[in-house]
Amino acid sequence: MTRLAGWGRFRPVETRLARMRDDGDVAAALAGGTALIARGNGRAYGDSAVSPGLTLDMRGMDRMLSFDADRGVLVAEAGVLLADVIAAFFPQGWFPAVTPGTKFVSLGGAIAADVHGKNHHVDGGFGAFVDWVEVMGADGRIARAEAGSELFDWTLGGMGLTGVILRAQIRLRPVETGWIVQDMRATQTLAATIDMMEATNDAPYSVAWLDCVTTGVMMGRGLAMLGRHAGLEDLPREKRRKPFATPQKPVLRLPVDLPAAALNGVTRRVFNAAYYWNGRRKPGPRLVDWDSYFYPLDAILDWNRGYGRAGFLQFQCALPQEAARPGMAALLEAIAASGEASVLSVLKRFGAERGRFSFPMAGYTLALDFPANDRSLKLMERLDAITLDHGGRFYLAKDARMPRAVMEAADGRVAAFRAMRAQSGAKGLFVSAQSERLGL
């Protein structure tokens, strides 16, 4: 038995962890009859990738099976990381079509959470670039679910609760260089931030960081970072000869848990202000390498230890387009009033909803992180209520604490998801600590 938690390190669960090396291992685990869940690289913040019974470590299935270099089509096992995909094919001019804010996620985890990137408003989620997945269901049989099929639609965003994803075929995006033309713009108010995102809706990548410490009229001021892949013509001559060369950065590691006090209210306040002013100083377009643009946090491995032993929590909700402005304002007001500033508050635009259980809906999403303590847990209850009032929903890949009633009130799709689980036999077998908590 091991104590295992998600990336936020909040409330570890006692589980038996077993490494899967091939289909046979998975079949044998399922035949055992113990409730189980697949785990990718453990980057979900909460308890979605730990089971009170058996947790299947899918990182042992990390083989790439074929690559069509003309079309950028990869077939690979679920345990392959996006970082592996980038290492293998980026030098040939291929990049993941959708990527979350860390490259250390597995294909299985990216599919199960149907992760979104900074381009959801243009391209949709990860699932939009998956041709098929092979899933081992409760009966131990392997089904190939093609895009558009019912099993496919439940599995994308299904958080491992439809079965174990073994393999998938995904499409990569061709790129000419390893650089992003980033356009940084500072805004003074929340309304201005959202206006800016609306006005730049055709930017391939967009994300805004919000200052959630400042109150009053400047509440919600932010830095919008728009981006597009640079073409060869965007590069200065000296970079053109090796367009995929990436500047080497030192990789740092947090060797110990910082005391929780290191990220207290004051340091978070200072951080917010400093980040804003630093960004404001260099507005306009400039070239940023792909790693710094997409994965700024990956430069410090194990940064999750920065919050101390108790761990930390993320809160991420999506609000429908029409409720986004008042909803975001209400969320920020509640945070500012609580004094619990988030270190990183990220606002993104979402395009149309897809899939039967995927998180995104047309509108806006806000992601926040808080150290785990009683005050922030209280605050998150407030944020839950505000989200519900505005017709929003919550991201399971970030959740570690939501009560069942909130999930049910937020997401009308829960009943159908439960029925599918009961009917397919998945209900009794594929169980995470999260699915138990939420009664999925």
Ligand X SMILES: Cc1cc2nc3c(=O)[nH]c(=O)nc-3n(C[C@H](O)[C@H](O)[C@H](O)COP(=O)(O)OP(=O)(O)OC[C@H]3O[C@@H](n4cnc5c(N)ncnc54)[C@H](O)[C@@H]3O)c2cc1C
Minimum gap (Å) between residue 131 Cβ and ligand X: 17
Please give the DSSP secondary-structure letter assigned to residue 247. Answer: -
Residue 64 interacts with, from ligand X, other proteins, none (CB under 5-8 Å by kind): other proteins
Cβ neighbours of residue 131 under 8 Å, at least 6 residues apart? 73, 146, 147, 168, 169, 170, 171
> Between the CA atoms of 337, 341, 344 and 349, what dihedral angle is there, to the nearest 10 degrees?
0
Binding mask 263-282 for ligand X (x = CB under 6 A): --------------------
Give me the 64-103 binding string for ligand X, x by CB under 6 A, dash otherwise: --------------x---------------------xxx-
Site stretch for ligand X (CB under 6 A), options 157-165, 270-278, 403-411, 420-428: 157-165
Does 159 bind ligand X (CB under 6 A)? Our answer is yes
Question: Exposure of 284 by Cβ count < 10 A (0-12 exposed, 13-18 middle, 19+ buried)?
Answer: exposed
Tell me the C-alpha distance between 61 and 297, whole Å. 26
Residue 320 site contact among other proteins, ligand X, none (CB < 5 to 8 Å, cut-off depends on kind) = none
Rounded to the nearest angstrom, the gap between the alpha carbon of residue 47 and the centroid of all alpha carbons in its chain is 14
Beta strands in 175-248 (DSSP E): 179-187, 205-210, 222-229
Please state the closest distance from residue 58 (CB atom) to ligand X, in A.
4
Query: Interaction with ligand X in 102-141: which residues (CB under 6 A)?
Result: 102, 105-106, 108-110, 112-113, 115-116
**In this complex, which beta carbon is closest to ligand X, that of residue 234 or of residue 369?**
369
Considering CB distances under 5 to 8 angstroms, the limit depending on partner class, which of other proteins, ligand X, none binds residue 401? Answer: none
Q: Whose Cβ is closer to other proteins: residue 63's or residue 173's? A: 63
Query: Which of ligand X, other proteins, none does 297 bind, CB closer than 5 to 8 A by kind?
Result: ligand X
Q: Which residues contact 225 (CB under 8 A, 6 or more apart)?
A: 182, 183, 184, 205, 206, 207, 208, 209, 293
For every residue of 336-374, DSSP letters joined together read: HHHT---S--EEEEE----SSS-S--SEEEEEEEEESSH
Residues that bind other proteins (CB under 8 A): 18-19, 21-22, 60, 63-67, 74, 76-77, 84, 87-88
Q: Given the rule CB under 6 A, which residues bind ligand X?
A: 7, 37-44, 48-49, 58, 78, 100-102, 105-106, 108-110, 112-113, 115-116, 159-160, 164-165, 297, 397, 432
